[in-house]
Structure 1
Amino acid sequence: MGQSVPYSEIVWMKFEKEDYGTMSYKTSFNQEDFERVSLIRNRRRPLEDFAMPTLQPIRLDHKPISTKKYQDLQKALQWVPPIFHNFYTTLAHDGTACDLPED
């Protein structure tokens, strides 16, 4: 039977690359040690056989951001490491685009 996890009481979650499939958590910031729980359901199956599913993109085209948001991002580039500048300067933008979520 699985371990019960008090998700609504968790204040700190930690996932480590070296400890794949395990979540460490605290239910109080004063708690000394993390509690651990395995997130892999079938414990009889070796970890090597576990494969992440291939995710499909939500959309194939890039949704443009508003020109105003694009301009704000360009002003903020002075604080962005140069290695990422190309991403921000090539963002699709449009004067009619809406930055609010669609209903």
Structure 2
Amino acid sequence: MECDLSFGLIEQKKRQIPEVFVPADCETVIRDTSAKFIAYNMNKDDFYSFSPFNEITNDQKKNSDGYPLKWKEICWFAYHKSERLTFRYKSTLNIDVEFISCLMATSKVGRPCFNFSILKPLNGTSIKIKVAKYKNLLSLLEYIPPIHHTFYKNMKHRPWHQAKKYLI
């Protein structure tokens, strides 16, 4: 796949910079790998749940040009609130290739009627790591510079009583 080459280049760069401890370090490695790579520092407010959209629309089979929409081949997906009921995609990570537009779908009742205000940010749902993983990370703090200890100590993890049900 085209992305394998990019990941390989990042891995090569990471070997030159072995001190990668926190996400900001990963961002630096990616940016320093190639001028073609753009790293965005995203936070939880940048992610939305499209579940409400799925409930009122049909699955899209063709793009705006009438060609079959092959979901497995999409490498780059873009959505802008200003482009009502439309998303753009690419089947390549090449920045010079134009995006292809696709009408998201007409509603199940036959007319575009999606209100984007029903999209909920995912910031209320953070993924918590297992207690065992959290304890393991804390046991490795002696190998991590003290400046980064707070990052690991503040990781969200399941309380022990919630973790029990996952131990099957």
* More strand as a share of residues: 1
